[in-house]
Amino acid sequence: MPHLLHLDATIQGDRSVSSALSHRAVAAWKAAHPTGTVTRRDLGAHPLPHLDHVALEARNVPAEQHTPEQAAAHALARELADETLAADVVVLGLPLYNFGPPSTVKAWVDHLVAPGIGYDPATGDGLLGGRDLVVLQARGGGYGPGTPREGWDHAQPWLPHGLSLTGLEPRFITAELTLADVNPAMAELRPLAAESLAAAERAVDELWPVPATAAA
């Protein structure tokens, strides 16, 4: 039975464009896979603990020697990896905060990049590859080629590097200028914002076409 892991990281609630796009992607996937199942983890509402010295030490100590705190940290990393391994598709809603990813997404990545959990320490091979990672990104401003802030988006280039040891390879669908509707200084950019959002929505809708027999 096909399975999808749905991750969101917004702190914007119902106002979030990244979450709206991720939910749209999940709906498109479910339409194409009516027998499929979904697991959801809301990193914004329920943040993961950041990688700390306890979690780091747990990676360097045999399991039978773990303290209770180290055992809990190791179990969390294993749980996150197992969620990923159980999925054929991972959908991640990724907002851009202060030109980078939310720290909750960084924490998710940090827990996955663990020897024996996210990668094989003997060979360096990733242990979480073989599944589709679709990232729905929302950027409040414009960061494309030729814009004043070209290159200021540090979330999109970082994520493939951050996950590289695990074998996960993200592909991105991005809507930008999402603050144009609420920022008077960006009012003249609202048509471009609408175009960007519409293009992202079309790209989402084309991810998993519904089979003709299912649509009939």
DSSP secondary structure string for all residues of 64-93: GG--HHHHHHHHHHHHHHHHHHT-SEEEEE
pLDDT tens by residue, 24-80: 999 999 999 999 999 999 999 999 999 999 999 999 999 999 999 999 999 999 999
Query: Mean of the pLDDT values across residues 104-109?
Result: 98
Q: What does the pLDDT read at residue 137?
A: 98
DSSP label of 14? G
Amino acid identity, residue 121? Answer: P
Positive/negative CA dihedral, 17, 21, 22, 27? positive
Residue 82 has pLDDT above 70, yes or no: yes
Phi, then psi, of 155 in degrees rounded to 5: -85, -50
The two structure tokens encoding residue 50 = 């950041």
Q: In 192-215, which positions are buried (b, 16+ CB within 10 angstroms) versus exposed (e)?
A: ebeebbeebbebbeebbeeeeeee
Contact of 95 with 138, CB cutoff 8 Å: yes
Helix (H, G, I), strand (E, B) or coil at 176: strand
The model scores a pTM over 0.85 = yes
CATH code of the domain made up of 3-215:
3.40.50.360
**166-187 mean pLDDT:** 96
Q: Where are the domains of the chain?
A: 3-215
Paired strand residues for 115: 119
Q: Band of the pLDDT at 212, cuts 50, 70, 90?
A: low
The first and second tokens of residue 189, run together, are 């950019």
| Mean pLDDT, rounded, for 134-138 | 98
